[in-house]
């Protein structure tokens, strides 16, 4: 029995249902890695293990490489979760996308302090350098790509930058370029990404574009943009997505779709209370609408074969998704390719079909 058939047999046994003979990573093998976000606990689950062996060629730790986990106190490192994920990837010949080194969230306060007082720019950048050297250095040669800076651009307002971020408040925009330089020094072969959400929205898109253009002009070692694919049944539209991919491709950057999930609900970040009561019933017709959206997205990626260099889903199956908790706690969502019992959804088949 070849490897794929062995995995299929064990999957059918595990779930007691027939799975199709199609493999996502197989279909994308000649194009780009297909990945999913995981944590080290999920990887102990034999169903997840089987799905990874059949369908994915890459993974991303959802939280275990973030600063609050890896360096909760200055110089005290916790690598257990990240090490387990990297070991799983190596055992199963999966690529690892590291996520994320510099972010305004999930970063412990000590980064911004110096002996209990607000740190100077020099001290903050030193903290950043040591953190990046420790983490990128540890996984050198094992993590092929990093989200170096996450979400540094503002959604609206006068400034391009997220001015409320403590990184920005202490170091100004310079921390962004420095983060890339340190990551490049720590592992010159790693592919370095700027990663952000809602970049299909025209206003945010232009802010990100100007920032990236400036960084490239300064010679900052940055090779790609991670477009967080926290999308929905409504947006981005085909036009919005095409314009976005075209714009970033024009900078000569690689594009990876990171954090992909397709919510049943509108993007509600600033409208949470308005829609809290709304509850969409999951049924065949909504599953078909979602599948059509996935088909549109992947057909669009096909239009940019030299530019798209990876797609990562933010989770594996609908039984575990952050969208059950955000932006409305306890509201069930069904954003991924596999259902709550790890079965292939219409969206899964739409993605496979988009590659024929
Ligand atoms: C953002 C971050 C991710 C994750 C998701 C929500 O997109 O980049 O690390 O926290 O939000 O799960």
CB atoms within 10 A of CB 218: 11
> What ranges in 33-120 are assigned the alpha helix state H?
46-55, 67-70, 80-91
**Residue keyed to tokens 């574009």:** 209
Q: 18 pLDDT exceeds 80?
A: no
Query: What backbone phi and psi angles, to 5 degrees, belong to 224?
Result: -155, 165
Lowest-pLDDT choice from 148-162, 179-193, 204-218, 321-335: 321-335
User: Parallel, antiparallel, or unpaired: how do β-strands 34-38 and 308-313 relate?
Assistant: parallel
- Shortest CA distance to 250 belongs to which of 304, 288, 188, 309? 304
Calculate how far, in angstroms, residue 1's C-alpha sits from the geometric centre of ligand 1: 39
DSSP H/E element including 74: none
Lowest-pLDDT choice from 32-46, 114-128, 257-271, 308-322: 257-271
Q: Which residues pair with 145 in a beta bridge?
A: 97, 191
**Residue keyed to tokens 């049924």:** 283
Q: 117 pLDDT exceeds 80?
A: yes
Average pLDDT estimate for 315-341: 94
Q: 115 pLDDT exceeds 60?
A: yes
DSSP H/E element including 179: helix 174-186
**So what's the pLDDT on residue 278?**
67
User: Which CATH number covers residue 20?
Assistant: 3.20.20.80
Q: 274 pLDDT exceeds 50?
A: no
**So what's the pLDDT on residue 157?**
86
Q: 14 pLDDT exceeds 90?
A: no
pLDDT digits (tens, 9 = 90+) for 146-195: 999 999 999 988 999 999 999 999 999 999 999 999 999 999 999 999 99
Q: 256 pLDDT exceeds 90?
A: yes
**So what's the pLDDT on residue 198?**
95
Calculate how far, in angstroms, residue 356's C-alpha sits from the geometric centre of ligand 1: 31
pLDDT digits (tens, 9 = 90+) for 59-105: 999 999 999 999 999 999 999 999 999 999 999 999 999 999 999 99
Using CA positions, which residue lies closest to atom 6 of ligand 1?
Answer: 322
**So what's the pLDDT on residue 270?**
56
**Could you tell me the CA-to-CA distances from 320 to 188, 261, 337 in Å, in that order?**
35, 12, 12
Using CA positions, which residue lies closest to atom 3 of ligand 1?
Answer: 62
| Average per-residue pLDDT for the chain | 93
- End-to-end Cα spacing for the chain: 26
Q: 328 pLDDT exceeds 90?
A: no
Average pLDDT estimate for 303-316: 98
**Residue keyed to tokens 């590291």:** 98
Which tokens is 278 given?
């709304």
Instruction: Give the structural domain span for 153.
Output: 3-267+276-353
Cα radius of gyration (the chain) = 20
Decide whether any atom of ligand 1 lies within 6 Å of the 259 Cβ: yes
**So what's the pLDDT on residue 269?**
62
Average pLDDT estimate for 120-147: 98
**So what's the pLDDT on residue 131?**
98
Which tokens is 82 given?
């990240």
Calculate how far, in angstroms, residue 335's C-alpha sits from the geometric centre of ligand 1: 15
Q: Which residues are catalytic?
A: 151, 259
**So what's the pLDDT on residue 17?**
42
Confidence of residue 279 (pLDDT cuts 50, 70, 90): confident
Decide whether any atom of ligand 1 lies within 6 Å of the 68 Cβ: no
150 CA: nearest ligand 1 atom: 8
Cβ(81)–Cβ(64) below 8 Å:
yes
With a pLDDT cut of 90, the percent of the chain lying above it is: 87
Calculate how far, in angstroms, residue 38's C-alpha sits from the geometric centre of ligand 1: 12
> Using CB atoms within 10 A of its CB, is residue 61 exposed (0-12), middle (13-18) or buried (19+)?
buried
Query: What backbone phi and psi angles, to 5 degrees, belong to 164?
Result: -80, -5
**So what's the pLDDT on residue 6?**
47
Q: Is the peptide bond before 100 cis (omega within 30 degrees of 0)?
A: yes
With a pLDDT cut of 70, the percent of the chain lying above it is: 91
Rounded CA-CA distance 132/95 in Å is: 20
Confidence of residue 12 (pLDDT cuts 50, 70, 90): very low
Q: Domain count of the chain? A: 1
- Shortest CA distance to 313 belongs to which of 60, 7, 28, 30? 60
Decide whether any atom of ligand 1 lies within 6 Å of the 64 Cβ: no
Decide whether any atom of ligand 1 lies within 6 Å of the 58 Cβ: no
């Amino acid at each position: 029995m070849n490897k794929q058939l062995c995995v299929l047999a064990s999957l059918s046994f595990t779930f007691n249902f027939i799975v199709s003979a199609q493999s996502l990573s197989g279909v994308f093998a000649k194009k780009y890695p297909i990945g999913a976000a995981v944590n080290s606990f999920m990887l102990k689950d034999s169903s997840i293990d089987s799905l990874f062996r059949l369908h994915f060629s890459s993974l991303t730790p959802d939280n275990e490489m973030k600063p609050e986990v890896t360096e909760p106190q200055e110089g005290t490192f916790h690598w257990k979760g990240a090490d387990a994920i990297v070991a799983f990837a190596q055992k199963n010949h999966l690529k690892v996308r590291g996520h994320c080194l510099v972010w305004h969230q999930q970063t412990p306060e000590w980064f911004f302090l110096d002996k209990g007082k607000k740190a100077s720019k020099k001290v903050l950048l030193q903290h950043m350098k040591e953190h990046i050297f420790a983490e990128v250095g540890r996984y050198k040669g094992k993590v092929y790509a990093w989200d170096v800076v996450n979400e540094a651009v503002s959604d609206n307002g006068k400034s391009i930058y997220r001015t409320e971020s403590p990184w920005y408040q202490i170091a100004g925009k310079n921390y962004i370029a420095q983060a890339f330089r340190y990551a490049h020094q720590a592992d010159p072969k790693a592919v370095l990404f700027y990663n952000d959400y809602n970049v299909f929205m025209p206003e945010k898109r232009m802010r990100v574009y100007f920032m990236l253009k400036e960084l490239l002009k300064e010679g900052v070692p940055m090779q790609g943009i991670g477009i967080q694919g926290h999308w929905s049944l409504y947006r981005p539209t085909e036009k919005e997505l095409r314009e976005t991919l075209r714009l970033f491709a024009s900078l000569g950057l690689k594009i990876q779709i990171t954090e992909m999930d397709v919510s049943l609900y509108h993007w509600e970040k600033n409208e949470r209370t308005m829609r809290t009561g709304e509850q969409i019933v999951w049924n065949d017709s909504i599953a078909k609408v979602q599948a059509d959206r996935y088909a549109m997205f992947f057909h669009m990626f096909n239009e940019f074969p030299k530019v798209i260099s990876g797609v990562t889903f933010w989770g594996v199956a609908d039984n575990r998704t952050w969208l059950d908790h955000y932006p409305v706690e306890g509201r069930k969502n069904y954003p991924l390719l596999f259902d709550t019992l790890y079965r292939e959804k219409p969206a899964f088949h739409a993605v496979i079909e988009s590659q024929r």
